[in-house]
Amino acid sequence: MLEVYGAMALAGNFICSINGIDSMGGFHPSLDAILEGLGYAAPPIIALLFVLDVCSLFHYKLYTVLMGKFQNLEAEIINLNVQIEARDNELNGLYNLVEQLQKRLIDFETPPSI
């Protein structure tokens, strides 16, 4: 692909030289032209840097807020897991108590064998 562009550039340069047209379009690099170009380019570059700075600050603030909320949620989830575990232990204790009462009831209802 690069060869095609190179061939087109050479062909264009050749055509311009035959017709007597300046192939650089009147632009001849000099220190004065470069400094003038930087003068024109500086305000948009500064504006883009400002926009990037504002966006990065916004992303940082958003990240810190979200991380704080996620940490709070993580602490709440851990707390809920502890509560669920405690309730689970209570239910297991109640289940064991019900099993023991059922065994005693069965023993109580069973007539003694003679």
pLDDT in tens, 59-95: 888 888 888 888 888 889 999 999 999 999 999 999 9
> What radius of gyration do the chain's Cα atoms show?
42
Q: What is the pLDDT of residues 10-60, one digit of tens each?
A: 888 888 778 777 766 666 778 887 888 888 888 888 999 899 888 888 888
43-82 burial by CB neighbour count: b if 16+ within 10 A, else e?
eeeeeeeeeeeeeeeeeeeeeeeeeeeeeeeeeeeeeeee
**Distance in angstroms (rounded) separating the CA atoms of residues 4 and 9:** 9
**Distance in angstroms (rounded) separating the CA atoms of residues 68 and 62:** 10
The SS3 assignment for 105 reads: helix
Output the pLDDT for position 23. 67
pTM of the predicted structure, to 2 decimals: 0.39
